[in-house]
Structure 1
Amino acid sequence: MKCELCGKEFQPSGHGRPQKYCSKSCRQKADYRRKKNRPARDRNGKPPVKAVETKQKPEQDLDQRSFERMMDGSMLDMLRTIRDRLQKAMDDTSTPANALPAISRQLIDVCERIESLQGGGLTDLLDDEEDEVTGDVGASIV
């Protein structure tokens, strides 16, 4: 049998899969050449993503300003994101103790703005005396 790399004649061992190479060094060289000729892969081992060409042109009715406005989040979404980041900073053990008062004030301000944008607030909940239950609403035992 002939080695696929160097062409040297060799006697196969007869065990397992048929051999292609006469020695371990020929097998390693062939493996190196195979890997060298493969297309480049990124660090995660995934093949590079090829750009897909489209024959259609994008619609022109959406200008740059309209697109940017469409992609902008609402004020409420931004405030919620800020609230979550401030809460993480408050809960983080690496946050310095002298920064906690300022962070907590900002967190309270953001929460109050969220409440005001949602149409209610803590003051509305506390000032609402009309909803107070005055009668006996529970079930009675007979």
Structure 2
Amino acid sequence: IAGKARAIGISNFNSSAIDALYAAGLRVPPAVNQCGFSIGNHNNSTLGRDLETVAKCKEKGITYSAYSPLGGLSRTPVLSNPTVIAVGKQHNKSSAQVAMRWVVQQGVVAVTASTNPSHLASDLDIFDFALSQSEMEVLTAIG
């Protein structure tokens, strides 16, 4: 694909799989690694759903993109988690907004989908607050 493509996308590649790509002489770098990633679903290195893979992507200049940032595909009950709800109350935000903010505050792109205009607006209303370091740690400890 050298000369034909400027970049490729990968999905569910963990840190060691990314290293293996480069060790194999990859000539077209990945632009994005899309993985399931959310509060409570960030400790699975097999599918790249871990903070080590996020760090590896940053090191290599690969955008880490989180699908299912609200935990849906992994069946992680993010939206009903008491800790997530409590953090949301501190910021006058919903559990979904806290979950999305936790993802993007780590430099991760969050991919969402909805046909509900109010859900779309809510997804975008996460940039007027920041989670404290202690809140990030408490949320990261979930799962």
| Smaller-chain TM-score bracket | under 0.3
TM-score w.r.t. the length of structure 2 is 0.22
Bigger radius of gyration among the two: 1
Q: Which has the higher contact order (CA 8 A, sep 6+)?
A: 2
TM-score w.r.t. the length of structure 1 is 0.22
